[in-house]
Structure 1
Amino acid sequence: MAVKSGGRRPLVADRRYATKATAGGSGPRKPAEPSRKPTRQRRGRPPRKHGFVVGAVLALWRMVWAVIWRLGVVSALILAGIVFYFYAQLPPVADLLDARARGSVTMLDREGKVYAWRGETFGGTITADTVSPYLHDAVVATEDKRFYWHFGISPRGIASAIRINLSEGRGPLEGNGGSTITQQVAKLLCLGVPYDSATWKSEKEYEADCRRGGIWRKLKEVPYAMAMEAKYSKEEILTIYFNRAYLGAGARGFEAAAQRYFGKSANKVNIAEAAMLAGLLKAPSTFAPTASLERARARANVVIGLMEEQGYLTAAEADEARDKPASLSNAAEQKTGGFFADWVMDTAPDFLAGDTTEDVIIETTLDQGLQKKAEEALAYVFDTKVKAGSKAQAAIVVMSADGAVRAMVGGRNLPNAGDFNRATQALRQTGSAFKPFAYAVAMDLGWSPMDYVEDIPLTINIPGSGPWTPQNYDKEYKGVITLTQALAESRNIPAVRVSEAVGRDLVRKVATEFGIASNMADGPALALGASESTLIEMTGAYAGILNGGSAVTPYGLNELRLQGDDEVLFGKGGGIGERVISETAARALTYMMSEVLISGTGKRARLKDRDAAGKTGTTQGARDAWFVGFTADYVVGVWMGNDDNSPLTGVTGGGLPAEIWHEVMMRINEGLPATPLQMEIPPSKYVAADPNYQEPTYTDALPEEYVDPMPDMGSDAGRKDIVEQLLEDILGTGN
């Protein structure tokens, strides 16, 4: 129902929020809200107010930062440019595996077995995929454990190296370099700079320059290493490393080193062998197993520990490798023939040996069994018969009758002994070892070993020098004796008489033709060994007596060819040459020299089971002592002396040299049949020309002091006449 208001206004709800009054509206008006000033919109934090100093520092920092980031951008662009330059210059991997400036020389013994290497050996290409996995992991674990996670350089490794160097008192870049494998390869490649003989005197000097450290070298390594990382895969970089690294003993690359030390390929080495090879990278000459097997094994154990620590080996594998360390191959372990190999290199043409750029194979005359026996014989005598601490040196040559050298000992292994080969390089006075050549002339002229010579005081007037009076070693005189006794007892005066009788020129000529090449003495002292010679020359000259009187040229090289090629480029370097004396004379001289061992100065060299002949030699002042002699199978020469040419103490040729010779001969003839020497005693042409001559029968017709003490000797009633005739016609010299 509608309700009327009766004139009153209707009821309405109050507005909650009134904004303004309506025109004509009634009722109270709400007060208007106070007016506000318009505010400005804020676009960030209002600037803080700083002091002058702080503001200046901030402004300077803004400038420095602007320069730094701009320089960084420029440097990055320059680095990228250098990296790209090196990247463009890098050749294919195959071209980097063998860049030797010199080739290698591999030496084989008479049985075709390897025993020595010279030059730089490259065993052939081995890759990171074909190498033994143990060797692969050993190299990474040892040289660069973060190899697969960096891009050529390792800032952490460099920082660690600097810390170690500083802690050990070195410069920051001296010693440990923190180089990655990639950086090491960059050094091996010499940052792309090839070897130039006009710039470097030798490849060794070139490599030393390439390995030189310092900040500038490091700065150049960085872009080159990064370029390699961009150009090659990680395994390709490892392949270069495996083939180029030097690993001691002339071995380039792990294939050559595995062959050198273990006689097997690098893809077949076990854990212990791999660890030993990887350990060589730190210091090849120091840790080479041929230098010190004990040191090499200790280094290998360090590598095994690193492999175990980094998870490449289990604990069981590591323990087994430590319990069964690597051993050298027979060829590497024997260490035989070093002096012999050096001598062969000297006798071969330089362009095929010392300066070769090819890989060369040389077949030699060396017998490794005889070599070992000769070395053991020398060591035995010095260990058992020479006082400890002796500095005396000795040399040995073992030779066949045709001049083929079978063994050579160039000296004892003493401190500061060096690599001097006393068998081939030492020119020393020969002493009485020279006397057989004077008697060789006499035998060749028709004398007999049973002819006589005076052993009485002798004075010879030498023009320009005055009178010369030789003496015997014992300063005694035997009177009239046979030539055989004179040589057997090494009596000086008879040797001079014989030399003067046959003529010094002939003696000099025969000795020279037998191979003694040094300048010989001009005076009568020639017969007493005043001339100088080397042991190998003397041994070769005696080989000429053994083979029946023909000269020999000692040789160790049988043939030389390139590796992989059957064509012989250089043949045998010596052998039998022209005849020097007659075969009859050689056999007569052999008889006389056999008496040296039976009843003369060489009794200590006598062999119980076979014929032998030889001669002792002791020089004035006992500075040199010799024994050179032969059996039917071998000629052996022994020399003893001091490197400084000081006198030996209590040593003569019939003493220690004879004992060394005996020990060598006993060992090298072991198991060989006892073949007799070719000897004969021809009649003297002086008595054989007498139609009434008869073979003498033994009597005591002469006084005791004139009776020949040698066995199977005798005289007849005309013996005095024969002696007097010989002395007058042949041996008579002023005294």
Structure 2
Amino acid sequence: MSDSRRKKPPLVAEKRFGKATTKKSATKRTSKATPKKTARKRRAAPKRPAKKRNPIVAFFLGIFGWIWRVTWAFTWRIGLVVGLVVGLAIGFVYLQLPDVDELLDGRARGSVTLLDRDDRVFAWRGDQFGGAVTAETVSEHLKNAVVATEDRRFYWHFGVSPRGVASAVRINLKEGRGPLSGHGGSTITQQTAKLLCLGEPYKAEDWESEAAYVQDCRQGSLWRKVKEAVYAMAMETKYTKNEILSVYLNRAYMGGGAYGAEAATQRYFGKPAANATPAEAAMLAGLLTKPSSLAPTANLSRSQDRAATVLRLMNEQGYLTDEETARWQTNPATLSVAAAENAGGYFADWVMSTGPEFFTRNTTEDVILKTTFDGRIQQAAEDGLAWVFENKVREGSKAQAAIVVMSADGAVRAMVGGRQTKVSGAFNRAVQAKRQTGSAFKPFVYATALDLGGHYDDRVVDEPYCQTIPGSGEWCPKNYTGKYYGDVTLSFALMNSLNIPAVKVSEQAGRENVRTVANMFGIESDLAAGPALALGASESSVLEMAGAYAGILNGGSSVTPYGLVELRLMGDEDPLMGTGGGIGERVISGAAARELVWMMEKVVSEGTGGRAKIDGWQVAGKTGTTQAARDAWFIGFTNEYVAGVWMGYDDNTPLTGVTGGGLPAEIWRETMTRVHEGIEPRPLPAFVPKPQAPKARAGQRRQQNGLEGVVNGILKDIFGGR
């Protein structure tokens, strides 16, 4: 029997997955692993105690650390404040900026374009503006050239280029200048902001002059640079890159009076900006740094050299291939015919001075002036003058000369105001210089006598002659040759420029009558009051004298020289005003004028003006030489044109071996020979003397002498009030 009360072990299921691990064995394994860990710890290097820092070093490091923390705390706060202020400033400027179309034309003055008699442009004055263009409408080459030259990172910066400013400061310091002096590192946007004068428009009442306004806009102070940067960033926010570039291309000054790409392209190349070639675009972009000195009209060679550099920059920045660069550097841009000639500077200045001031010198409109100018005749005058000075005048001479060529109605065709012909704004000796006329005045003495009833074959005695001048004593004129020719005709006396007969004729005709005739023919200068009036003691200009001789050629009517034919505003078809000169009232009779022309023809064909002869043409004229040869003149005409020539020194130094019948007559001949090329010769409008029997003519002369007192009395009554 079993003992049922024995405690039986609990029923435990067998471990299905391996043997059960007993507590003893687990303990055993644990005890074996523990020593290994201990061994590792023993092998590791023991920690060293922290080394104490030097108290002095620790002190200073603490100070520096404190300073850094304070500085950083201030810096980020100040930076935040500055950023907010700049942002507000940019926002304020942004709100003030107008629409981009209002910024394209920023001129304070208008332009004047001068057309010749055939409606071709020959000169420009004022601030030229060919019309608004955009970055999309100009030649792609021009846009690329400007960016490559002025601001290669234009399309990537935000209006200001820190890298460009740093580079400019470095270059300035390296070259011994102040950090802001010289190179500015300005972007195209900053330059545009400067051209806009930071939004401050020009007001005449606020500035001493426009130049003072421009100078203030261009100042380079630090504060101005800051304002410029803010304005530039506001522009970048308001406008697109192409709009900013458009404003720049329209406002930038490009020399020669041209503002903007369109005006400059028309001025130099005679074409629109849309058609500019790479070479022309490079030349225009090269002008932006120094527009006046680099202008191709001032120095074409220097402008071409600068353009070659711009082409290289375009190549480096990928705008042109190597082949294209080589091609355009080998074939640089050249000026248009009109720009290359740079013709008519003296004429253009004179026309500008004769027109209404508010449409010429101070115009705010774009004006077109049609003129009487003839480029072919102008070139003839310049070439004739140059030939004589190169071949007949000693090298190094400082003598000057002036020429005016006009038609019989006073239409001025050419004008040379000095030996330097390619100029503008220079002293114009043809208009501004008032010089004694000498014997060139004598035709007006004989014109008066002929108009009073005299004739070419009336006689006068050439003999020693003196006259007492109240307050001056005795005055005794002499002939240039020092000889006396006795009883001579008026024609002989004029032909040989005899002084004593001229004085006697003047006194007999009446000085006041002579003064009146000269004034009515257009000599407006004050005329001498004494008997020396007949010998050209008075002063006049080449323009006045040529105009007066034109009156003789056209039959005895006064002539007002003119150059302006028509004035109109650009874009308008109807003119605002027309011709300001031409033929006026009659001065002497047609018969007297024709007889005087015949007498003056003898001056050239047989007398003192022989060097002025032109093959195949009848020429009439008169020489003139003043006291001590300070002035030498020849004024004459054919059936087609009148020309006046003066020669002398600006400081009144006497000429050496020069008389009016010498170099001035030769300048006249060289000029008029070229002027008349290709023109069929026509005779002068002179009378042809009819041969008369000596007795008949003597009877007429006796009759005339018998009635002389009566006639003179009547004539004085008629002409005394003139």
User: TM-score when scaled to structure 2?
Assistant: 0.89
- Give the one of 512, 531, 540 matched to 1:524: 531
> How far apart are the structure 2 equivalents of 1:225 and 1:717?
95
Structure 1 counterpart of 2:453, which letter?
G
**1:696 and 2:703 correspond:** no
User: Retained in 2: the 8 A contact 1:593–1:615?
Assistant: yes
Structure 1 residue 422 corresponds to structure 2 residue 429: yes
Query: C-alpha displacement at 1:70, in angstroms?
Result: 1.2
| 1:13 and 2:13 matched | no
Tell me which residue corresponds to 1:7.
none
SS at match of 1:226: helix
User: Conserved in 2, the CA contact under 8 Å of 1:361 and 1:560?
Assistant: yes
Counterpart residue number, 2:445: 438
Q: SS state of the match for residue 67, structure 2?
A: helix
Q: Secondary structure at the match of 1:247?
A: coil
Aligned partners of 2:574 and 2:30: how far apart in 1? Answer: 121
* Cα distance in 2 for residues equivalent to 1:162 and 1:646: 55
Equivalent position of 1:613 in the other structure: 620
3-state DSSP of counterpart to 2:622: strand
Residue 638 of structure 1: aligned partner: 645
| 2-structure distance, mates of 1:280, 1:311 | 21
The CA deviation string for residues 45-90 of structure 1, in whole angstroms up to 9 with x for no partner, is 9997753233223222322222222111111111111111111111
Residue 391 (structure 1) aligned with residue 398 (structure 2)? yes
Aligned residue for 1:701?
none
Secondary structure of the residue that 2:497 maps to in structure 1? coil
Cα separation, 2, equivalents of 1:75 and 1:356: 46
Find the residue that maps to 1:115 and give its secondary structure.
Answer: strand
Matches within 5 A, 1:144-159: 144-159=151-166
Aligned equivalents of 1:435 and 1:57: distance in 2? 101
> Greater CA deviation, 219-228 or 644-653?
644-653
**Helix, strand or coil at the partner of 2:370:** strand
Q: In structure 1, the residue corresponding to 2:274 is in which secondary structure?
A: coil
Q: Once the 2 structures are TM-superposed, how far is the Cα of residue 729 of structure 1 from its aligned partner?
A: 9.8
Residue of structure 2 in register with 1:258 after alignment = 265
- Preserved CA contact (<8 Å) 1:452 1:723: no
User: Take 1:387 and 1:295, find their aligned partners in 2: how far apart are those partners?
Assistant: 31
**Cα distance change of structure 1 residues 226 and 342 upon mapping to structure 2, 3 Å threshold:** same
* Residues 684-723 of structure 1: CA deviation (Å, up to 9, x unaligned): xxxxxxxxxx9235xxxxxxxxxxxxxxxx9988799799
Q: In 2, Cα distance between the equivalents of 1:620 and 1:723? A: 36
- The one-letter code matched in structure 2 to 1:427 is K
Distance in 1 between the 2:348 and 2:599 partners? 35
Say whether residues 1:94 and 2:91 are aligned partners. no
Equivalent position of 1:679 in the other structure? 686
CA separation of 1:52 and 1:679: change in aligned 2, threshold 3 A:
same
Matches within 5 A, 1:95-494: 95-413=102-420, 419-494=426-501
- C-alpha distance in structure 1 between counterparts of 2:58 and 2:709, whole Å: 130
Question: 1:27 maps to what in 2?
Answer: none
d(CA) in 2 for partners of 1:633, 1:268: 42
* Equivalent pair of 1:452/1:726 in contact (CA under 8 Å): no
Question: What is the identity percentage for the equivalent residue pairs of Structure 1 and Structure 2?
Answer: 60
How far does residue 289 in structure 1 lie from its aligned partner after superposition? 0.7
Find the aligned partners of 1:436 and 1:134 in 2 and give their Cα distance.
63
The code of the aligned residue for 1:643 comes to D
Match of 2:607 in 1: 600
Q: Using the TM superposition, give the Cα deviation of residue 499 of structure 1 relative to its aligned residue in structure 2, in angstroms.
A: 0.4
| CA distance, structure 1, for counterparts of residue 568 and residue 422 of structure 2 | 37
Q: Using the alignment, how far apart are the partners of 1:314 and 1:726 within structure 2?
A: 95
Question: Taking structure 1 as reference, are residues 717 and 377 closer, same or farther at Cα in structure 2, changes over 3 Å only?
Answer: closer
CA–CA separation in structure 1 for the residues paired with 2:699 and 2:136:
93
1:503 is aligned to 2:514: no
State the distance in 2 between where 1:140 and 1:169 align.
28
Q: Could you tell me how far apart the structure 1 residues matched to 2:709 and 2:133 are?
A: 81
Q: CA separation in 1, counterparts of 2:708 and 2:578?
A: 51
Give the total of aligned pairs: 673
Asked if structure 2 preserves the Cα contact closer than 8 Å seen for 1:628 and 1:636, the reply is yes
Distance in structure 1 (CA, Å) of the matches to 2:702 and 2:579: 53
- Distance in 1 (CA, whole Å) between partners of 2:585 and 2:700 is 38
The one-letter code matched in structure 2 to 1:514 is F
SS in 1 for 2:380: helix
Is 2:345–2:422's contact at 8 Å kept on the other side of the alignment?
no
In 2, Cα distance between equivalents of 1:605 and 1:85: 75
Q: CA separation of 1:460/1:589 partners in 2, compared to 1, >3 Å: closer, same or farther?
A: same
Kindly state the Cα deviation for residue 18 of structure 1 after the two structures are TM-superposed.
12
Q: CA RMSD in A?
A: 2.6
Q: Distance in 1 between matches of 2:75 and 2:577?
A: 68
Give the structure with the larger helix fraction: 2
SS at match of 1:673: coil
8 Å Cα contact 1:584/1:682 also seen in 2: no
Give SS of 2:395's match: coil
Residue identity matched to 1:695: Q
Report Cα offsets for 1:228-287 as digits up to 9, x if no partner.
Answer: 111111111101011111111111100111011111010001111110111110111111
**Partner residue of 1:41?**
none
Give the direction of change, closer, same or farther, for the CA distance of 1:482–1:727 in structure 2 (3 Å limit): farther
Cα deviation 1:611-650 (Å, max 9, x = unaligned): 1100001111111111100000000000111111211121
Matched residue type, 2:91: F
Which of 546, 549, 553 is residue 546 of structure 1 equivalent to?
553
C-alpha distance in structure 2 between counterparts of 1:46 and 1:69, whole Å: 36
Q: How far 1:728 sits from its partner (Å)? A: 9.9
- Give CA-to-partner distance per residue, 1:485-517, whole Å, 9 cap, x none: 111111111110000000000000000000000
**What letter matches 1:367 in structure 2?**
D
Whole-angstrom CA distance in 2 between matches of 1:726 and 1:370 = 49
Deviation (angstroms), 1:544: 0.1
Task: Report the 3-state secondary structure (helix = DSSP H, G, I; strand = E; otherwise coil) of the residue aligned with 2:275.
Answer: coil
What CA distance in whole angstroms lies between the structure 2 residues aligned with 1:546 and 1:534?
A: 19
**Contact conserved, 1:108 with 1:116, CA < 8 A, in 2?**
yes
Deviation per residue, 1:566-615 (Å, 9 max, x gap):
12111101000000000000001101111110111111001221111000
Unaligned stretches of 5+ residues in structure 2: 1-21, 32-37, 39-49, 713-722
Distance 1:564 1:415 in 2: 30
Q: Which amino acid aligns with 1:696?
A: A
> Residue type of the partner of 2:429?
R
Q: Which runs of 5+ in 1 are unaligned?
A: 1-10, 21-32, 34-44, 684-693, 698-713
8 Å Cα contact 1:501/1:730 also seen in 2: no
- The worse-fitting range, judged by mean Cα deviation, of 169-178 and 558-567 is 169-178
Q: 1:414 to 1:586 in 2, by over 3 A?
A: closer
- Shift in CA distance, 461/386, structure 1 to aligned 2, threshold 3 Å: same
1:200-221 Cα distance to aligned partner (Å, 9 max, x none): 2333332222112222221111
Q: C-alpha displacement at 1:730, in angstroms?
A: 9.8
